[in-house]
Amino acid sequence: MHMLIGGGGNFATSEGELFERPKGRVIVALSEKDSPVLPGHKNSVWLTEDAPWASFQDRKNPHGFAAFEVDPGNGPGDKTRMHVTYYTFDGPFAELRAVDQFTLERPRRA
């Protein structure tokens, strides 16, 4: 099992730039002209499309982390489970507060 959370380490708060409904920007081509910022490189051409898989946007708690507990199961035919808790930071001393919890599971293969 695997899970991706977050936007890849953006240094700035970007929750104000979220789409109203879940959408994604996809690179579909390279421009003909060189980038004015990076000489010798082409700019990307982007297309915006619906992204129902990007279903949760936390505008109230833009910073946090996920903790994972993995239960590999007891052998073939059993379930492998990943218990996930997403935390944010509250107050002047950044106390942890659980925002969401869920469990992913799938049949164990070996």
Closest CA to 4 of 28, 24, 29, 30: 24
Tens-place pLDDT, residues 56-90:
666 677 778 889 999 999 988 899 999 999 898 88
Count Cα atoms within 13 angstroms, Cβ side, for 100: 13
Q: Which pLDDT does position 83 carry in this prediction?
A: 94
Q: Which pLDDT does position 106 carry in this prediction?
A: 92
In this structure, how many other beta carbons lie within 10 angstroms of the beta carbon of residue 19?
A: 13
Tens-place pLDDT, residues 4-49:
566 555 555 555 566 677 777 788 999 888 888 888 888 889 888 8
Residue ranges of domains in the chain:
1-10+57-110, 19-55
Cα–Cα distance for residue pair 43/73, rounded to 1 Å: 47
Q: Positive or negative, the Cα torsion across 43, 19, 55, 9? A: positive
Closest CA to 63 of 1, 14, 2: 14
